[in-house]
Each structure stands twice: as structure tokens, then as C-alpha cells.
Amino acid sequence: MALLSRSSCSLATLSIESLTLVGFNLIDLVTHLPSLHNLSTNDSYAPPECNPITDRFIEMLQVRDTGSHRPIVPRLRSLKLNVGASTFNDGLVIDMVSISMNFWPARCMC
């Protein structure tokens, strides 16, 4: 995170493949990337206890019209999740996309 904090670059695309991160580390990472437009993860080879795609991560991606909740990646337009976890909550992703679509700009072709 120190590199991201010191850098003045704006990262638009991030692809994470076969990297074992605990969910809160992924949340912390993308929080430091406000310019992120495209996020791709592939954790299909990660052990279940190191799966970076947690329910909390998906919930924090959600765009809602409340002052108390801001999405951790406010400019996200593309999300690709390749999840190897046997207990992945796909319904939560469907809810996140359904709710967030109500707040995306009309010009967004999703």
C-alpha cells in the first residue's frame, strides 16, 4: 500500500490472478485505487481460507444512494470474478449489480 500512497499515477485496470489475499486486504487495496475502472480477479487456485472475494468485499462494491455508504471503487465499470470457492454467494453479486445499476450513468452500456 505504501507504493500506491506515494505514487501519483492513476491505475485504471487491475488484474489479480492466483494471488492469495485475505478479503480485507483486497478491500484495502482497491480502496487506494479510486481511479480504477476495470477489476479482474481469478482466485480459482487459492486455498479457501485465502479467497479474496468475500461477501463483505461484494457488499462494499455496491453503489447505494445513501450518505453513509460509498462504494470502495466509485468508478468501477467492469468486474470479472473467477471464483474457485465452493461457498461463493452468487446471489450477493446479483444483488450488488441490480442495486448498483440504478445509480450508474445512463450512458453506461452494461
Q: What is the pLDDT of residue 39?
A: 92
Asked whether residue 50 is assigned to any structural domain, the reply reads yes
Query: 100-110: buried (b, 16+ CB within 10 Å) or exposed (e) per residue?
Result: beeeeeeeeee
State the residue for C-alpha cell 479457501: 48
Q: What is the pTM of this model?
A: 0.73
CB-count burial class (<10 Å; 0-12, 13-18, 19+) for 81: middle
The Cα–Cα gap between 50 and 56 comes to 14
Q: Is residue 54 part of a domain?
A: yes
Structural domain span for residue 91: 11-101
Q: What is the pLDDT along the chain (110 residues), one digit of tens a residue?
A: 666 667 777 889 999 887 766 655 888 888 888 889 999 988 777 776 777 778 888 888 877 655 656 778 888 888 888 877 667 788 888 888 877 666 655 444 44
Q: In total, how many domains does the chain have?
A: 1
pLDDT computed for residue 37 by the predictor? 92
> What grid cell was written down for 88?
461463493
Is 1 within the bounds of a domain?
A: no
